[in-house]
Structure 1
Amino acid sequence: MSIVYLVRHGQASFGRSDYDKLSPLGEEQARMTGAALAGCGVKPALLVTGSLQRQRVTGSRMWEEAGWEAPVDIDEGWNEYDHDAIVYTHKPAYTNQAVMQADLARRGNPRRAFQEMFVEATGRWTSGEHDDYDETFAQFADRVMLALGRVTSRLSSGQDAVVVSSGGPISWVASHLLTSSPKERAVSSAGAAGVSDAAVAVWLNLSATTVNASVTKILVGRTLTALTVNDHSHLQGREGYVTYR
């Protein structure tokens, strides 16, 4: 048996021009996660991150804190989906930021209005009824499971891996494993399973509540099993350290 630890990146710079940059808190969350995993005796044979800056820097801070020196791979399969593309495909006029801000302001509470609109946009994307996306939801789901397959294929029995990704991909792995049959969870079928309504429903909930620097633990045997999902106990007890954006 092997374990794949899926870690969401630390807090990024939400609301700023360069969202992809970790905040100072995000860097500290990453260090705390590395220390917590090392303290539990985790000694990965493989380290993987997506190619986004917030993922790579989270990984770097974790490795440093944990003292891990395993090979590091950069795999774009673990990148987050394009939030902007989801919004703009749903509301083409919002490619003009001034139009979007004015429209949201007219609703009285711009933050709430944006969240409601984003839920609608994500629902359109996940419905599978539209193909006007550069990456459909089904393609996103396959991309993520194929990335997981590339990790598991490199692990010998007893070896572990730590992967730094984002809320969307990690939530999809968990949602798929929690709602699929043993046959669909077989290691040999990674990337081949379809997108079920049940998995999408779970994904919509998980992706909205995945904590920064949380850990989702996947057991790798003949099948893949989600042992823990969104564990952030290492961040609790310190005020302000549990964040979602």
Structure 2
Amino acid sequence: MIELFFIRHGQASFGQPAYDRLSSIGERQAVFLGRHFHNNGARFDAVYSGALRRQIQTATIAMQQMNGDGPHHIHVDADFNEFDNSDRMMNRLHTVIQEDPLLAGQMKDIHTHPSAIARIFEIAEKAEMVPPDENERNRLARQFRARIGSAIENLIQKVGDNKKVAVFTSGGPTAVALRQTLETSREQTIRLGWELRNTSITVLRWDQQRLWLVLFNCVAHLEAQNDPQLITYI
């Protein structure tokens, strides 16, 4: 049996020239996450992170809070990165939004809105940042699912049995892992990805040669702070 803790990165810098870094709120979220693990006596046999800056930042801050000056080696695996075109789209959207006063006003509170990701992809489609060809979109989605599936399989083979592993990643990879676990449709998988909050914890258990869902989208470490601004979606 292996427990996989899929942890979404903290709030990134959407609306800024460079998306791939934690905002000040994202850094606070990672601090509270690490303290939560420390206070609950959590121990991981291995810690993985995608290669994106926001993923590594979240892992580093959380592990520092969890272990103090103790060891917190992080295995960086780019196969746990977000969908390949996602960050390019996010960075280009900065210019689109800045040039449209109406969009800029609508984006003011986007971070804390449950439909944030759906709204952003709606804007991206109108700005022709999403491939218009359905076959091309399906091909890219299949590649992405295959990459995440291979990353999970490789991790399981490397860590061995009876281990607890943290994987600091993004919403897309977590949603794909859930699709593999729950056998959801494409539409259901996308909707699950939209629901994932920053620094949320989703736990999957590898047992009997398959994945089982144990915990989904938990942000108890943020809810305990009694600050709605900490509950963010992008």
**Aligned match of 1:145 in 142, 149, 156?**
149
Matched, 1:59 2:31: no
Shift of 1:9: 0.5
Aligned CA distance change for structure 1 residues 39 and 2 (closer, same or farther; 3 Å): farther
Q: Give the match's secondary structure for 1:31.
A: helix
Question: Who is 2:215 aligned against?
Answer: 228
Shift of 1:155: 2.2
**Aligned match of 2:164 in 154, 160, 163?**
160
Aligned CA distance change for structure 1 residues 28 and 131 (closer, same or farther; 3 Å): same
Q: Give the match's secondary structure for 1:205.
A: helix
Provide the rounded CA distance (Å) in 2 between the counterparts of 1:14 and 1:108.
12
Shift of 1:99: 10
- What does residue range 3-82 of structure 1 map to in structure 2 within 5 Å? 3-67=3-67, 69=71, 71-81=73-83, 82=85
Shift of 1:227: 0.9
Amino acid at match of 1:5: F
Normalised to the residue count of structure 2, the TM-score between the two structures is 0.79
Q: Give the match's secondary structure for 2:159.
A: coil
Matched, 1:243 2:232: yes
Provide the rounded CA distance (Å) in 2 between the counterparts of 1:219 and 1:50.
20
Structure 2 residue ranges without an equivalent (≥5):
111-118
Q: Give the match's secondary structure for 1:21.
A: coil
Question: Who is 1:186 aligned against?
Answer: none
**Aligned match of 1:130 in 121, 135, 139?**
135
Amino acid at match of 1:161: V
Amino acid at match of 1:74: V
Q: Give the match's secondary structure for 2:158.
A: coil
Question: Who is 2:203 aligned against?
Answer: 217
Question: Who is 1:189 aligned against?
Answer: none
Identity percentage over the alignment? 24
Pick the structure with greater CA Rg: 1
Native 8 Å contact 1:128 1:136 kept in 2: no
Shift of 1:119: 6.7
- Higher alpha-carbon deviation: 11-20 or 61-70: 61-70
Provide the rounded CA distance (Å) in 1 between the counterparts of 2:4 and 2:96.
43
Normalised to the residue count of structure 1, the TM-score between the two structures is 0.75
Aligned CA distance change for structure 1 residues 234 and 149 (closer, same or farther; 3 Å): same
Provide the rounded CA distance (Å) in 2 between the counterparts of 1:210 and 1:136.
21
Aligned CA distance change for structure 1 residues 120 and 24 (closer, same or farther; 3 Å): same
Provide the rounded CA distance (Å) in 2 between the counterparts of 1:108 and 1:74.
35
Structure 1 residue ranges without an equivalent (≥5):
88-93, 180-197
The alignment covers a number of residue pairs equal to 217
- Higher alpha-carbon deviation: 1-10 or 35-44: 35-44
Question: Who is 1:116 aligned against?
Answer: 122
Aligned CA distance change for structure 1 residues 119 and 212 (closer, same or farther; 3 Å): farther
Higher relative contact order (CA 8 A, sep 6+): 2
Q: For residues 2-44 of structure 1, what are the alpha-carbon distances to aligned partners after superposition, in whole Å with 9 as ceiling and x for unaligned?
A: 2110100111111001111111211111121122223333211
Question: Who is 1:200 aligned against?
Answer: 186
